[in-house]
Structure 1
Amino acid sequence: MGFGDDDDYKRITRLFKDIFKSDRKPSKSKAIDLFNASLKNRHPNFDILWQNYESLRSTSTSDTSGVEPQQLLHTLKLLSKSSHKKDFIAFERLYNDIGNFWGFDITSNHIHLLILGNVSQRRLHDAISLTEKHLSQLNKPHLFPLLLASSSTNNDYSSYQRILQLIHSTNTTQDLAFYNARLKLAFQFHDLPFVEQLRHEINSLNLQPDLITYTILLDGYSKWQLWEQSNSIESSLRALSPDLPSYTCILVARGRQYGIDEAKKVLKDIAEANLHPNDITLSHLVTLSPVPLSSQAARELIDDLSAEAGVDPSKHTYQAMVEKLLVGSHDAAYEFYMDSPQRTLAATLPLMRTLAQHHDLARMVAIYDQLDARTRLDSALLALMLRVSAKQGDVSTATALLVEMKEAHVTLDTQFQTSFVIALLHSSQDFFQAFRFYANVVDSRASFIDGRGFESIIAEFCGLRFPEENDADAVQIVPALLFSEILNDMRKAGHPPSCKTYTVLLDYYARVRDARSVGKIETLLNVDRSIRPDIYLCNALLNAHNRVGSGARCVELFNALLFSQRADNASLSIALDSAGSRSTPADPLAVYSNAAKFIPPNRKNWETLIEALARRKRFDEAWKVLQGGEFSVDANSIEVLFRLTRASRDVEALDALRLSLVHHYPLLWDSIRQRVDIPWKD
C-alpha cells in the first residue's frame, strides 16, 4: 500500500476510524443462549467465550437478569488459567463487572482467582500485593506454594523474598511442599549454602523427602556440576521407585555429567520400570545432543532419537530443536520450523524474536501466515510484528495486523498504536507528510497513546532521513514547529514532556547542527513550568550549544549551573571543550579554576583542559598544566597534548614539545611515538 499523494492523510484517518468502529449488538435472549452454550463446552474457546460475554453485557445495560453468580465465577476460573494478555484484559474486565455491573458480592473465591490470573500472566508482584491486601480472606497454605513456584518460573528473587516475609509474618506452617518450592528457588538463585540449610531443616522437622524433593535436588546439583552430591541423590531417588518425571531428571543429570550416550542408557531403566517415555523425555534428549548443522540434520536427529525412545515427537521436542538450532543458525531454525508439523507459541516466539533482531519481516510474515487463529493473536507476537513492520515502513502489513486485531476483539493498546504510527512515519516522503499521518491517528477518537508512546514517536522522527530536493547528499532537518505540536499533544493527553523528551530533542538538533532550533527548545524549557531539568537535560543543553557553535552561551549556562550547585564533571568537560574554541571568549583556565571551587575536577576534566589550551595554541600553558602534579602523567595525557599540538601545524611548537617529552617522559613517549608522530598529509 503506497501513500504518496497530498490527500493520503485523509485516507489514513478514515482507515483508522473504520478499523475501530463499533459492531452491531445481537438480541439479549440470543446473547444469553450463546453465553450458556460456551460455558457448557468441556473445552471452551476463550475467544468465543469472551465474545459471547461481551454481547451479553452490551445487551444488559438496562436489565441484568438472566445471569447467575456461578456462571460468572466459572468464566473467571477459565480465564484465570490463560497466559494470553488479551484474556487477562477480559479477566480484569469481568472481575470488575461482577460487583460494579452485575451487582454480585466479591468473595474470597473471586480474589483467589484474581491472584491466580496475575500468576498466569507472570505479574507476580501484583499477585503478591493482592495477597498482602486480602491476607485474612485467603487459604494461605494452599496459595503460598503456588506463589513460590511462580517466583521460580519468573526467576524473580525479590518476589521470593516478599513471599518468605509473608510466610514468616503469618506463622504459616511449612510442610514438605513449602520446602520443595524453597529448595528449587535456592538452586535457581545460586544460594547453595541455603540448600544445605533447608535440607537440615527438613531433617530436623522429621519431614521425609519424597520424589519431588530428590528430583529437585538432583536437577539442582547436576546443573551446578556438583557430581558427588548428584550421584548420591540419584541413588536415593532410585530407591524410591521413580516415576517418569524423576527418571527424566535422572536422564538429564546423567547426560550433563557423561553426555548423550549415557543419557540414552536411562531409557532402558524407564522401560524396566514399566514406564513409557514421553515427548518431554524426548525433548531433553534433543537438548543434550550436539547442535545439528542443518535443518535436514535436525530432522534426522529427531527421527533417530524418536526411534530409540519409542516416542512420537510433539510440541516440546520441536520447541527444543528450534531453540537448539538458534544457537547455530537462524536460517536452519527457520527451515526446520516451517517443516515442523506443530507450531506452538513457545516454539514460535524465540524464532520470531531472532528474526526481529535481523529485521527479517518477510520470514516473520511467512511464519505468521502459518499460525493458528489463537496463536497468531498473542500480544507478544503481534507487538514483534508491528514493531518490525514499523521499522521497515511497511504500512500494509501493519494495517492488516490491526484489522485482524479488531476482528478478533484484541485491545489496541498504546504499544500497538505507537507501532502503527511509526510505520506511517517510515512510509512518508517528507517530515510534513509524516506529521500529517501522525496527527490524524492521534486526533481520532480511537487513539490512546501514553507518555512512552509519544517519546518513541519523537525518537523515530529524529531517526527519519529525507534527502533535500536540490542536494541528494544533504538531509532535511525536522522543523522545530512539528516537535512543538507533538509536545502540545502530549500535554493535552495528560503526559507532559519529561526531561528525557527534551534531552532527545536537544541531542538531535546538536547532531544536525541546528542552532535556531536549539534556541527554540531552550525557550520552551524556560516557559515550561511543569518540568525541573535534571543534570542529563542540563548537560544536553550545554552540549547542544557547544555543537552548534554557541560557545559563549554554553559557558554562560555552565556558570549558572555551577553557582546553583547543579553542575557535575560532565558539565565541566563540555564547558572546557567549548572554551577550547577561539570563537568563545571564555578562558579555559578561568573556567577550570572557577569550577574547582564547587566541583572537584576529575582526570577527564584535566585532560580536556590540556586539550582546550592546545586547541587555542597556548602550548606553554598546556605544558604547565600537564606538569602541575594535579594528576599523574600517563601515555594518554601526553598523546592528547601531542595530537592537538600537531593539529595546529605549528612546527616550532611541535619540535619544542618533542624535546620536552624526550627529556621528561622518555619511556611514555617511546610507547606512543610510532602511533602519533607521523608526517602530515598534504
Structure 2
Amino acid sequence: MLKLCIANVSATARYAGLFRTSEQRAHFVLGKRSLTTLSERETGIINQLKETHEKIDDAIKRKDVDDLSHYVIYLRKLLHTLPVSVRHQVSLDHLSFTGSHVNGMLDIFSTRISKEDVNILESILRDCKDIYHVEVNTQFLQSALRNLVRTGRQVQAYALINIFRRPNLPFRPNSIHWQIVMKGLAGVGDIERVKEGLNIMKNGWPFPRTTHYQALLEAMLRQKDPPSVDEISGVLDEMHSLNLPYDPGITSLLERHRQELRELTDKYKTRRGPAITGIHVQAWLQELVKARQRGRSPFDIKLQQLRRKGFIPDERSLANLVSLSSTSTIEELQFLQEVLEVKSNVVVWSILIRNILAKTGIRNALEAYQAAKDNGIRPDAAMLHPLLRVLCSGRVGEPSEAILDRALELYKDLNVDTQPSDKHTTGRERKQGADTSVYNTLLRALASSSNARKYFPIALSLLENMRERDIHMDPMTSTSIAILLIRSASTFEEAFQAYEQLRSVKASALDAKGYAAVLHAFCSLPVRAKPNDENSVDKHAEFAIPPAKEYFKIVQDMRAQGFPKTSEVYTILLGRYAALATRIRDVADAKQRVTATADLYGVIEETRRHITLDAGFIPDAPLLNQLMDAYNRIGAMDNVLQVWKLLNSMGRVTNASVSVVFDACGQNRAPDTANAIFHDLMEVQFPLNRRNWNTWVECLCRLNRLDDAIKVVCHDMPAKADEDSQPDEETVRTLVLFASKSDRVEEVRSHIKMYLPTLLPDT
C-alpha cells in the first residue's frame, strides 16, 4: 500500500492583522484577483467561524460528542454563507485544523456510531481537504481502527470501515484495514461480522487474503461449541476455490487448537492451485492494461476476476504493468498501488521516471524523482542515470552551470552508504551507489564546461570516488573521458594530473589506441603560456611547449601495460614541435625568437635520444621524416642532413623525405647540398612526384636560381611521362611569386603562355 503521511495543507499566504474591528473593512487578495473589500456581514461571519473553531477544539478535548456534532454542522453552514469567491481563502486563513483534530473527531464519533453520527462523520471526511485542509489517507484510517480495536470497540471499528466504503470518500479500505478489523472481531468470536466482511471482499475490493480467512478460523475456534471438521474443511475449500496460496499460519492455528485436524491440515499443505507461469501473468497484465483504458471500474472487475484465477499482485507485476501501460503520472501510479495493494519499489519508480522523460520531459521526471524519495525510495544508478543523461545532454551548446550543479546534487543521492540496499526488486538485488554510466555522464558534462576552474577539481574528485569504489570503465569510455578531461585542463600539469587520476581508477584503463589518443590530446592541449614560463614559445604565444618528461611518462605507462612503443608515439610529439616551430618564425622579438628556437631544439634533441636509446626499436620512414621536418622548421640543417643520410643508408627514402630535404636546402640557402641531393636522386632514377617537383622549384627560387626553376617548370616536368609529375597551378603560382620579387613576372608569364598556356594565371 502506498503509505502517505497526514499533511496539513497550509495557506500559501497569510495576512497579519487582516481584520482589526467589526466596523473596519478588511482587504483581501485572492490569487490573481484584484483587491476586494469585505462587507461588515462577511467580517462578522468570519469572526463567528473563529469562535466556532475554538468551540470544536474544546469539544474534542472534553470528548463531548453532542457538542462536537452541533458545532461541526454549524461551522459548515457558516462557511457556506460566505461568497464562493472568498470561501476557500477564509478557510485557509482561519480554519487551521490538523490531522490530530480529525483523529480526535473520528475517535469521539466512533463511541456510538448512530445514524446521525455516521452522516456527520461522512461529511467531515468529505470536507477534510476542501474545508479543513487535511489530507486523510490510508494511514489515518489504519491508526483509527487500531485504536478502536485496542480499546475493545471492535463493533465500532467494523462500522467505521463500512463508512469508508461509501462513494466519494478520499480512499477505500484496503486489505490491511480489513485485517485489523477482522482480527479484532475474531478475538471476541464475532463470526457473523467476519463472514460478512469476507463476503464484502469477495464481491468487491479488496480481494480477501489467507490472513482474512485465518481470522474467520480463529473466530470459529473461539466458539463454545467447537466447529466440526466439515465446517473447517468448508473454509479451506473456499480458500482453494479462490486460488489463495498456502499459508503456514493457518496450519499452525489449526494444529494448535485441534490435534484431530492433523489429516485435514496435511491435505491443506499438499493442496495446490493451478500452475501459473510467467506467460499467464503476462497475459493477465495485458488484460489489466486494456481494462484500465476503459476506466477504474472495469479495472477493478478485471482484477477481481484474475485474483480468482490465482493472480497475486507483487512488485514485479506492478513494475511490468507500469511498463506495459506506459504509466507516466504519479497519480496513476498511486492508483495502481492502491488497487493492487503493492508498494512501489525502486524498479517501479525507475520505470515511471523513464516513461515521464519520454512523454513530458525532465521537469515532471524530476518531480517524480522527488516523490519517490518522499515515499522512502533510495535512488540507485538505474533510477538516476536517465535523469542525468537528459540533464547533461547539452543538445544546444554546453550544459549550464545550474544544470551541472543540479546533476551533482542528484549524484550525491547515490553516495549515502549508511542505508541498506533495496532488495525488493524484480529478480535480483540492485547495486547501490553510482555506476560506470553515471560517472561517464557526469565526467563528460563536467569536462565540456567552459568553467574549468570550478568543475575540473570536481571531475578529479569523481575519478577518486571511482577508485575508492573500485568502479572501472571500458577502454573506449576511459579514452573518451581522458581526452575530455585533458582538453578541459588549463595547464600541462593539470592535464597530466587528470591522466594520472584516471589511471588510478584502473592501471589498465587504456588500450593501445587509447594511449595514442591521450598522447595526441596531451600534445595538442591549447595552453596559454605564462609569463616567465621557461617552456613558453613567447609571452604572447597561444601555445606552450608540451613537456617531454610528462609525455614520456605516459609512454612508459603504456609500455608497462604491455603495449609496444610504435613510431606513432614519437611522430605525435615531433609533429607538435614542428607546428610550434612554424609559429616561432612569426615572433617579432628577435631575442624571444632565438630563445624559443633553442628551447624547441632541446626538446627535439631529447626526443631523438629517446628514439636512439629505445632498445629493439627501429624507426620507420614516417618517423624519421617527421624528425627531419622538426629539425628543418627550427633551421637545424646539420641535423636534417644527418637524418637524410640515415634514411639513405637504410634505403627508406620516401617522397615525403625528398620534399623535406629540398625545403631544408632552400630555407637554409644550401645550393651545393641541394644540387648533390638532386643529382643523386636522378642518378638512381628516384620517382619524384608533383609535390617533390614543386618543392624543388621553390628551393631553386629561394637559392636565386629563377632561370633553372623556369626550365624545370616549362621543360623538365612536362617531359615526364607520368601524370603525377606534371606542373599544376600551385607550381606556376610559386614561380610567379618569386619572380615578382625580382621584377620578372612578365618574363615568367611569357614562358608559361608559350609552354603551359592552360595554366597561365590571370593578371
State TM-score, norm by structure 2. 0.38
Indicate the structure (1 or 2) with the bigger Cα radius of gyration.
Answer: 2
